[in-house]
Structures are given as structure tokens and as C-alpha cells.
Chain A
Amino acid sequence: MAAVTSVGETPAPAAASRPSGMHTRRRRRLKVFRYVVFTVFGLFFLLPLLAMARFSLEGAKLGTWSGTAWKQIASYQGEGVPPLLSSIEITLELAVITCVVTLALLVPTMIWVRLRVQWLSRTMEFLSLLPLTIPAIVLVVGLGPIYNRIQHYSLSALMLFWVYVILALPYAYRALAAGLGAIDVKTLSEAARSLGASWFTVMVRVISPNMRQGILNALLLTWSLVLGEFTIAFLLLYNNLSVELYSISRNTPNAGVIFSTSTAALLFAFVLLLILSYAGRTRRGRG
């Protein structure tokens, strides 16, 4: 088999894992192709972010450096909008609530469907992926009346989490389904049940820890979705971080603070990603 592969001109993807048998010229050409592609795309992805970071450090005169915009994050107060800090706070709280509710809604239901009500699994998948096909802006049009009703009780922007859970559903569902698919749920639960565990124990202490990576991925996706959400908050007239940045940019074009806040939010997301992938990997190594 290896001898046959060595005749290959273009290596098929899997062949790359044993490059020794590959034609040298072909291999070099592929290597060049890969590095060119990685460099070009890397620049395309990186440059806008670097530009934003650089602009956030721009001084009063073009080309100078200053940390003013970063210091402003804590104190910025635009005209006619609530303080920047309060909207950051709201957004973080929303992210936490949405993550908790999404997991609490999805994880037990998915395990339960997998174990006891298999015939509902197609329906559940369909419903979970449905929000991908219903644009957020359409959802807002329909939600208007519902939220008007809720607003009678004059509740805070935190009420947005009800919809955010729906937005996060497809992403969280897929991440969790991948995690659930990788373990033998039935055997685990039968073993636990035969040892006298309650269904609660089965879910919380037996199955959930085994799908840690899936849960972490779901959390990360939900988290980044809520941090960047704009459409629904904007149209339901709530002030989250994105809406706040948008309002500031309209009142004060090119205000340094919007770039420093954006950069900070992005750095935050990347750090979180690193932490989560690290946490997931060490866990998996130990288990």
C-alpha cells in the first residue's frame, strides 16, 4: 500500500501523515502552496485586527502612541447613552445567564432523548437547528409584540437572554451532539443505574463529565455569540455592548474608545478560547 502511495503526484489529505513515501518534488510544491496560503490568509485575518489595535493606541496627533483610549474604557460616557461600563457589565451578565440557561435546557434534554425517547431525536435536532434558518432580524419582528408584553413589567436588558438562548441553540446543540456522540451513553447510564444511581446522578455526575469538551465548546460558542450580538438588542432598544459601541461611533466618529473596547473584547474572547482549549486538553489527557 505504501509503495502505491509513493507513486502519487498530489498527495491526498490523509497521505500527508506519512510523507516519507511521497514524491519529493510534489511534496515540496505542496509545502510551498500550503505556506503561501497560510501566509496570505493569515495576513487577511490578522491585519484588520492589528489595525484596530494600533488605532486604539493612537495619540492626539496621527502616528503618535497613547493609552488614553484604553483608560477611557472605564469612564467613557457618551452623549445620550448610558456609561460604557454599564453596558459592558450588562453584556457580561447576559453572557453568563445565556450560557447557564442554554446548558440547563439542552444537556439534560439531549441526554434524555438519547436514552429514553429516541423517536424524538429527529424533532429535537430539527428544532435546535431551526434558528439557523430564521434570521435574527425576522425573529425580532415577531418578538416585538411578545417583548412589548414583557416590558409592561419594566424589566432590564437582562431579559434579552430569553432570545439569546434561541440564537445559541444551533451552535450549542452541534457542539453537545458531537460530545455526546463520542461516548457510549447507553452503557454508561446502564452501569450507573444498575449501581443504584438516580437519573439526576446519571446526568450530572456520570455523563456530563464525560462530554466535557463538548460542553466547553458549547459554552465558548454561546459566550462569543452573546458578546457580539447586535441585531436583537438594537431593534428591541436595549443597550448591550455592541449597541453602545454603535451609538458612540455615530455620535463621535472614530472615537478611540470604540477601538480600544473592541480590541479588549476580542482579546478577551481569544484568551477565553485558549483557557478553554487548555482546560479541555488536560482533562482529556487525564481521563
Chain B
Amino acid sequence: MATSTKAEVSLPSDTEILITREFDAPRHLVYRAWTTPELITRWWAGDHGEVTSVEVDLRVGGAWRYVMTATGGFEVGFHGEYREIVTNERIVSTTVFEGMPGESSVSTLMLAEAGGRTTLQLLTQHTSKQNRDMEINSGMESGMQSSWAMLEQVAASLG
């Protein structure tokens, strides 16, 4: 069945994050999972909590907003606007973390299909290194909350 592949994160520059992941599915389905509210609800929170609201107005200039109730009980919201849409291929959108309303990043989703599998790339461009680092730190914090054991394992594997 679905081979579990790891997400790969790289940092192409001081202000960017690039996430790459391969899926065992054609790209129109990955695109559907990425853009359909009922489906986003099923995956977007990861193991950080429950998705409580997803609004998607998928057109250039249209708005999106995702809200989750995190494991600690507090609400975390993100919203933004679609800037460019190429169905099944590419979406450029802005993202504002509602805890830091003054700051906005720009994300580019790219989907490429080969042999029935899809490579997803998500490039996020922040306005400063500080904001970029803060996004990475958010993973650190939630990772620590959800599983110390996992972190220890990772640290151990690095020797």
C-alpha cells in the first residue's frame, strides 16, 4: 500500500522554506485534497489538534482561512489570499498567521506527476529571516509538546 515517504525540508535562502513530499496518487487528487474544505479538514492539523473551520474561495483574489483548535485547547488561525491558480499544477497564495497579523508570507504550491505519483513542493517566502525562523520554531514547539520521545530518537540517530 501507500509507501510512507518523509517530508523533506530545505532552506534555499535566509527567508525561504522548501518542503518536498512524494505521494502515491495522481496530481489531480493531490490538488483536490489540497483545495477541498472537507478534505483539508482531515489532514491540515496533522497531530497538532482538530480543524474547526476551513474556508476556501479558490480564485485569484479569493480568500482562504483555516482554523484549528490545538491540542492545548487554544485556537490557531491562518488566512490569506490566492494570487495565482493553475488547476492541478500550481497555486500561489499569501499566508497570515493570525497571532502575528502584521506579517505575511507567500507560498507557492507546485505539483508534478510522473508514473502516477506526484511530487509536491511547497515554497514559502517570508519577509525576513526572523519570520522564517519563527515558522520553523513553531514546528519545534508543537513537536516538543506532542512527542519528546520522537525528538530524542532523532537526536540519537544523529549521534
Co-assembled chains A and B: no
